[in-house]
Amino acid sequence: MSATRMDAFRAMLAKDPAHGLAQFGLANELVKAEEFAEARDVLVAYLAANDDQGSAFRLLAQACEKLGLAGEARDAYRRGIDAANRHGHPSMVQEFEDRLEDLDG
């Protein structure tokens, strides 16, 4: 099922490489499939062009953690905290702060 979804998102991106929903969807499926390096690349592109509310920063941080990139994961969580605060998501802020404590502890 995941490969079919990835194919659909890739087809959408072939038509419009800047399609934010397709970028986010593909990245989400890539994380599920444990394709963390590609997910990281897609998320970096997505976040460069979209005002995300926090979810993409969570995915980016998770991918970075799996890749052993703790510094990048911390940065993603910090940026996610800023985004979640801007969009009024206090529970997401708390989640990201907890993950930062885990990474730092």
- Condensed to tens digits (0 to 9), the pLDDT of residues 44-87 reads 999 999 999 999 999 999 999 999 999 999 999 999 999 999 99
CA distances from 7 to 3, 13, 70 (A): 6, 10, 30
The domains of the chain are located at 2-104
CA distances from 92 to 15, 47, 80, 86, 104 (A): 33, 17, 8, 11, 18
Task: Provide the pLDDT for residue 47.
Answer: 97
Q: Which fold has domain 2-104?
A: 1.25.40
CB atoms within 10 A of CB 72: 17
Task: Provide the pLDDT for residue 56.
Answer: 97
Q: Is a pLDDT exceeding 80 seen at residue 2? A: no
CA distance 20 to 94: 26
